[in-house]
Structure 1
Amino acid sequence: MKEQIRRTITRLVTENEKNWSQALNAPYFTAPLVGFASADDPVFEHFKEAVGDWHLTPREAFEAVHGQGSWHGGTVVSWVMPWSQELRDSNRHQVERPSRQVTEAYHLSYFTLMKELRAKLLHFLADDGYRGVAPVDGPGFRMVDTPTGKSSTWSERHIGYAARLGSFGLSRGFISSLGSAVYLSSVVIDIALEPDPQELSDPNEGCLFYYNGSCGACVRRCPGQAISKEGQDKTICASYAYGRESIALSATYGLRGPAGCALCQVKVPCESKNPVAELKEKRRLAAIF
């Protein structure tokens, strides 16, 4: 079943006709990484401390849709959708606002393609008699105002971390084995699948800044000055990426809503790889040869 789910998610991304940019002459997104976590993993309870007590557990997300007492265990499926090389290149030389193609990809991923993908995946599983929920589409999902900025009741980045797909960088972006120029999504299903076996990583395992202090490229890339060596200021970031000027830019592209930003996800060492893993592998090979 895990391989069926992986193939289904991959097909729904790579074969979707919407996943194509005429301007780039390339897809917006390439084949995804898919991870599986036990819904009973203690990390989901830990998120109520690390994120906030408003963050849903898989059980809470499932029962918000299927009713109290409906949960009997299952799996969280998370996937990382990497930007294509062409999409990354379109944002590489931007210094103030995202490229038109990145704005298109942002709208496509969050408002169209991802939502459709989640619905089709759950429909595919329902045909085999399984139930599930996409928490970000469910009644329990909402944005929460906190002293440090906006948060949500289901953080896709944290879910990706729980599924062993990556870790967090200085910018609070998600660093997967295919880099930080990615979008994430997830569903909760009532199938008890074998979770991916690797140990939960250090939360900042893939970030060079936290590893040896040698980086800080995302600080220099941030046009809103929302990132520093102390981390990301969520309020400044949100104001710059989703505020009035951002909405106005998006409107010039014929799109409703903010343009986003994501400059910190390209032209950085973690753009398309885990740089710490690469560095460790080079050192390992050097020690052998």
Structure 2
Amino acid sequence: MLQIEDTIKTFLSTPENNSLSPHWGFRAFDQPLVGYADGDDPLFTAIKNDIGTFYQTPREAFRQAFPGTSPKHIGVIAWILPHTERTRRAHRSMTDMPSLNWSLARLFGENVNENLRRHVVTALTASGLRALAPTLAPEWTRAQSPRYGFASTWSERHTAFVCGLGTFGLSDGLITAKGKAIRVGSVIADCTVTPTPRPYTHHQEYCLRTHGVDCKACIKRCPAHAITPSGHDKEQCKTYIRGSTRPYVEEQQLGVPVNSCGLCQTGIPCEAGIPKLVQRRLKLSRNQTASCPQ
């Protein structure tokens, strides 16, 4: 099969494909992480059952894009695009509004991500496979989850979670080996992939609070007070972005409205990696499990 990881890295290594803006000579993202999952992994169905019936499994998304087809195998490819140290440093210094770098990465960086999705689909198609990026499909839409409020028919973060790339934090952001200051993308195709091992068993395993640490870093970083020890209030978060940061970006930064915030993704222990304490404890736990007598 096509060497998809090389395809992704080669695309991002080309400066014009990975630019923070058309006018700046800085890249949008550092080296990516890439993970894989079987499209019929039961965890996709468990996520659908948790979020709502509108949520699509990979096979459902594929059938919608290619009606009347039922391939034997569905492969899922997900990637993590880490923000650069330059962007993270600029954003770390902000308190209630996003940095210019972060807003640029939110606008032009997501354009990079969208182009990468299209590039991967094109490469897979050229190799004889049928492929799609669910978030770019015309059928993708927002919906209301009975349990979680506003949601959508496909989640890049949940897909990356299944693909072994990270677990969720208190703020609902995905904590990965490259941290939480990231963007995420994914593609599905009628192919067989070797699933990336998931080195976790809990959906918040990389969060310090799961390990008994009273970390309040993302709580303190949120200007909307939308993060509490109980979790993330998505409506409160959305209200702040739409009412404060979005108009700020339009009026003070880019001249166009952009849903930029992400302050809870920097200035925290999981900004650029899995917290060291979590790494140590997980390693200890796995070593203990491996040494238990049968």
- TM-score (normalised: structure 1): 0.90
Residue pair 1:36, 1:196 contacting (<8 A) in 2 also: yes
Does the CA contact (< 8 Å) of 1:98 and 1:259 recur in 2? no
Which residue identity lines up with residue 228 of structure 1 in the other structure? T
| CA shift for structure 1 position 18 | 4.9
Contact kept, 8 Å, 1:37 with 1:75, in 2: the verdict is yes
User: Which residue is 2:291 aligned to?
Assistant: none
**Bigger shift: 91-100 or 195-204?**
195-204
TM-superposed CA distance for 1:113, in Å, is 1.1
- CA drift of 1:16 comes to 3.9
Residues of 2 paired with 1:266 and 1:31: CA distance?
18
State the 1:212 CA deviation.
Answer: 1.2
Counterpart in the other structure of 1:138: 137
Query: Secondary structure at 1:140's aligned position in 2?
Result: coil
Deviations 1:74-129 (A, max 9, x none): 2100001001111100100100011011011011233x111111111111111110
Q: Counterpart in 1 of 2:40?
A: 40
For 1:274, the equivalent position in structure 2 comes to: 274
Gaps of 5+ in 1: none
**How far 1:130 moved relative to its partner?**
0.7
Identity %: 32
Does residue 62 in structure 1 map to residue 62 in structure 2?
A: yes
When the two structures are aligned, how many residues end up with a matched partner? 282
Determine if contact 1:166/1:176 at 8 Å carries over to the other structure: yes
**SS of match in other structure, 1:80:** strand
Summarize the alignment of residues 1-289 of structure 1 with structure 2, pairs less than 5 Å apart. Answer: 1=1, 4-21=3-20, 26-110=26-110, 112-146=111-145, 148-198=148-198, 201-241=201-241, 243-252=242-251, 253-275=253-275, 276-280=277-281
Distance (Å, rounded) in 2 between the aligned partners of 1:130 and 1:48: 26
1:17 match: secondary structure? helix
Q: Secondary structure at the match of 2:158?
A: helix
Cα shift readout 1:45-98 (whole Å, capped 9, x = no counterpart): 001122222110001111111113344322100001001111100100100011
Alpha-carbon displacement from aligned partner over 1:160-219 (angstroms, at most 9, x marks no partner): 100010000011110001110011010001111111234553100100012113311000
Aligned CA RMSD, in angstroms, stands at 2.2
User: Offset of 1:32 from its aligned partner?
Assistant: 0.4
Paired residue secondary structure (2:254): coil
**CA–CA separation in structure 2 for the residues paired with 1:11 and 1:123:** 14
Cα gap change, 1:60 to 1:223, in 2 (>3 Å):
same
For 2:267 and 2:54, locate their aligned partners in 1 and report how far apart those are by CA, in whole Å: 34
Q: Contact conserved, 1:170 with 1:210, CA < 8 A, in 2?
A: no
Superposed displacement of residue 239, structure 1? 1.4
1:8-55 Cα distance to aligned partner (Å, 9 max, x none): 111222324253348986422101000000001000100112222211
